[in-house]
Amino acid sequence: MSAALLAVVLAAAIAVFARRSHARVTLLREARPAPRTEDIIRRARRELVQVLGQRKLFRKAVPGLMHAFIFWGFLVLFPTIVEAMLAIVDEDRTLPIIGQAPWFLFTVDLFAALVVVGVTIAFVIRKVQRPDRFRGSHMQEADRILLTILAIVGSLLLWNASRIALGLSEHPQAQPLSNALSSLFAGGAATEVAERVLVWSHLLIVLAFLTYLPKSKHLHIITAAPNVFFAKNGPSGRLEPQRIDLEAAEEDMRFGVATAEDLSRKQLLDLFSCTECGRCQEVCPAWNTGKPLSPKLLIMDLRDHVVARAAAPSGEVQLQPPLVPNAVTDEVVWDCVTCGACMQECPVDIEHVDTIVDLRRNLVMAESRFPTEAGAMLRGIEGPSENPWGQPSDARTEWIGDLDVRVLQPGDKPPEYLFWVGCAGAFDDRAKKTTQSVARLLNAARVDWAVLGPRERCTGDPARRMGHEYLFQMLAEQNAETFDDAGIVKVVATCAHCFNTLSNEYPDYGAHLEVVHHTELLSHLIGEGRLSPAGAPIGSVTYHDACYLGRHNGRFDAPRDVLAAGGAVAVEMPRNREGSFCCGAGGARMWMEEGGDQRINDTRFAEAEATGAETLAVACPYCFVMLDDAAKGKGSDVRVADIATLLAEATLGEGVSPPRRVPGSTDPWTNLEDSFGRTADS
């Protein structure tokens, strides 16, 4: 009788669950596949560390503990659901082997208690602390979910207590909490009824929760693990290429993501994995300076749109409305600085930036729709001069002045290091100082290096982050050819954006280079004793991590090592290393006007100034321009300077002329050992 009833209830619950999951399952099944299966071992390791180990959740200690208690409790208590079913059929039946084992009984009691503690912490966070990251999240739904979890664990504890009262437990002393609760039950017939009621209640609440999942944000308990598994391997700074072949058949042409149908399977899974915790929102430079973009709201809005479309009655012709502006506004799409802080924080590895760039790709390539002021940058890169500012190519060597610099001519013997100057490094007056400092230091350390001069062109990075994939592709292919022709193997770059795209994205276009950032090379040269900063120490410095050097590529130490070697007294800003706060120029925002209540660069500069450091050290020309503008705008005494310039002053002194290389000299230009560990694992 009980068995039959149980079977009916189970079947009903599974049927409702399946029906309610149908829309999402269909969407996932029909979506564009995202081939994310390479390096399974790494993916499996991520499951262990990030899902089982809850690594990213512990970036916040208390909320992390809260979640871990509930999550681990959920895993450990899973067998008790089976146990409840067995007990429904026959109250004397328990799980084989472990059912009456003292350690198992104790573990259940312990983790049930931990879940109760976890839920309590969650309520304290949500009701007392009320952090801003929950703004825009479904708060009532969260309350409902937490109360249900409490009911599941509460009914389990009470059921176990009633069993102890009935003498059905062989080791009540192993169940301290349940044992204490068992005093609530007098025993006898009334308790026997209570035991039946409790076991059924427990199971029914569990099943009700199951049927509630598919349409709720709590679906993450099913989707999070696969979402982490299918997350991008390798540096987060690499965007998936979207090959544009103008000769291809029209139906094969795809320009980013226009409608819900264009989202890849991983992008959809992202939407179904969001549990609205708002860790992304809390760190987003756009949201923090009063702009409409919040990575969390972006994902929620896309999810709601996609689900609503899927649920719409199917007519003969289903016209999919574009995601922009129907799900998210244009402004939201353009506010993003692609700093990756959201992805860094997201416990379930949602890839916000990649989706935003895909939306941009469609707006730019299919609709020519983007903030007007960025047009000058695109025209500059497209134009004959091939740089964002439209400066003449032959002006690329103007920074050289009377410095001793080899400009590589076609057919020349390749240098050990090609110094990729970059457009900012060649044309922007502030960035030029960095370029000159690097040149002087490389000469002082007797590195065999050269520049491409007028043969250099934009890497295409700003175009790519804007969404102009086609323009980026053209430049990447041309630059790859230049590298190949010149026989270049090693490249040093001062621009974090050039550094990222050359090292992570150019391999997709045939250029396999060993790319180092200038701070890495300088740190290495100091270590080798080839640069000895013996002059006046750098003084008190706070270092601003560039997103595309630090967070996206894991280079945190080299810049700090160089400063330390130069005698700097380092003061960290509250937001540093992978938690750094963007200068505001990434994601091609360098080329757009900024809205919102505050400016991102002013916000970051104020943070630097508050450290009391004399100097704000940067390691990227975009950061340099943004933060220096903020300093000047504020009339601050804090000096903004690139690490290379600070080191050059500490090593060569100001205005000290660098050792000159005499043409034809037999000076041994020793090769540097290749000792740069590639450890980008973020």
Partner 1 sequence: MGAVWVYAEVTPEGPHPAALELLTKARRIGEDVAAVALGPGAGAAADELGRYGAATVYASEDPVFADHPGRPAAHVLASLTADHAPSLILFAGTYGSRDVAGRLQARTGSTLMANATDVLAPDRARTEIFGGTKIVDVTLAGPEPRLVLVRPKATAAEPSGGTATVVAVAVDVPADARGARIVERHEEAASGPNLDEARVVISGGRGLGGPDAFAMLDELATTVGGAVGASRAAVDAGWVPYAYQIGQTGKTVKPDVYLAVGISGALQHITGMKGAKRIVAINKDADAPIMKIADVGVIGDLFSFIPALTQEVRRRAAS
Closer CB to partner 1, 559 or 596, in the complex: 596
Q: Output the smallest distance, CB 283 to partner 1, in A.
A: 24
Q: Output the smallest distance, CB 257 to partner 1, in A.
A: 18
Q: Going by C-beta distance under 8 Å and a sequence separation of 6 or more, which residues neighbour residue 339? A: 285, 547, 551, 581, 582, 586, 587
Q: Going by C-beta distance under 8 Å and a sequence separation of 6 or more, which residues neighbour residue 94? A: 83, 86, 87, 100
Closer CB to partner 1, 174 or 378, in the complex: 378
Q: Output the smallest distance, CB 340 to partner 1, in A.
A: 24
Q: Output the smallest distance, CB 244 to partner 1, in A.
A: 9
Alpha helices per DSSP H over 251-314: 265-273, 279-283, 285-288, 295-311
Closer CB to partner 1, 263 or 588, in the complex: 588
Q: Output the smallest distance, CB 253 to partner 1, in A.
A: 10
Q: Output the smallest distance, CB 365 to partner 1, in A.
A: 6
Nearest to 338 by CA among 577, 588, 555: 588
Q: Output the smallest distance, CB 591 to partner 1, in A.
A: 6
| Residue 33 CB coordination number (10 Å) | 8
Q: Output the smallest distance, CB 336 to partner 1, in A.
A: 17
Closer CB to partner 1, 359 or 515, in the complex: 359
Closer CB to partner 1, 387 or 553, in the complex: 387
Burial class (CB in 10 A: 0-12, 13-18, 19+), 117: middle
List the 539-543 sheet strands across, edge first: 568-570, 539-543, 615-618, 639-642
List residues binding partner 1 (CB under 8 A).
246, 364-365, 368, 373-380, 382, 388-391, 427-430, 468, 470-471, 591-593, 599, 625, 629, 632-633
Q: Output the smallest distance, CB 391 to partner 1, in A.
A: 8
Q: Output the smallest distance, CB 375 to partner 1, in A.
A: 8
Q: State residue 112 phi and psi, 5-degree precision.
A: -60, -40
Q: Output the smallest distance, CB 421 to partner 1, in A.
A: 14
Cβ pair 88, 2 in contact under 8 A? yes
Nearest to 287 by CA among 300, 274, 296: 296
Closer CB to partner 1, 116 or 600, in the complex: 600
Closer CB to partner 1, 69 or 427, in the complex: 427
Cβ pair 338, 353 in contact under 8 A? yes
Closer CB to partner 1, 593 or 637, in the complex: 593
What distance in Å separates the CA atoms of residue 238 and residue 497, rounded to the nearest whole number?
Answer: 11
Closer CB to partner 1, 543 or 591, in the complex: 591
Closer CB to partner 1, 359 or 590, in the complex: 590
Q: Output the smallest distance, CB 533 to partner 1, in A.
A: 27
Instruction: List residues bridging with 616 in a β-sheet.
Output: 542, 640
Nearest to 465 by CA among 548, 589, 351, 376: 589
Element (H, E) at 318: none
- On the question of a cis peptide bond just before residue 96, with omega within 30 degrees of 0, the verdict is no
Both structure tokens of 293: 């973009």
Q: Output the smallest distance, CB 371 to partner 1, in A.
A: 9
CA dihedral 130, 133, 135, 137 (to 10 degrees): -100
Closer CB to partner 1, 274 or 588, in the complex: 588
Residue spans of beta strands (DSSP E) within 421-538 = 449-450, 490-493, 514-517
Q: Output the smallest distance, CB 470 to partner 1, in A.
A: 5
Closer CB to partner 1, 514 or 594, in the complex: 594
Cβ pair 319, 258 in contact under 8 A? no
Cβ pair 656, 648 in contact under 8 A? no
Cα 59 to the center of its chain, rounded Å: 13
Q: Output the smallest distance, CB 402 to partner 1, in A.
A: 16
What distance in Å separates the CA atoms of residue 271 and residue 323, rounded to the nearest whole number?
Answer: 14
- Give Dmax (Cα) for the chain: 105
Amino acid identity at 669: W
Element (H, E) at 423: helix 423-427
Q: Output the smallest distance, CB 593 to partner 1, in A.
A: 6
- For the chain, helix, strand, coil in percent to 5 are 60, 5, 35
Cβ pair 345, 283 in contact under 8 A? yes
Closer CB to partner 1, 92 or 429, in the complex: 429
What distance in Å separates the CA atoms of residue 573 and residue 627, rounded to the nearest whole number?
Answer: 14
Closer CB to partner 1, 517 or 599, in the complex: 599
Closer CB to partner 1, 71 or 472, in the complex: 472
Cβ pair 126, 143 in contact under 8 A? yes
Closer CB to partner 1, 469 or 505, in the complex: 469
Closer CB to partner 1, 251 or 593, in the complex: 593
Nearest to 365 by CA among 481, 246, 234, 260: 246
SS3 112: helix
Nearest to 596 by CA among 285, 278, 329: 285
Amino acid identity at 360: R
Q: Output the smallest distance, CB 579 to partner 1, in A.
A: 27
Element (H, E) at 674: none
Q: State residue 323 phi and psi, 5-degree precision.
A: -65, -35
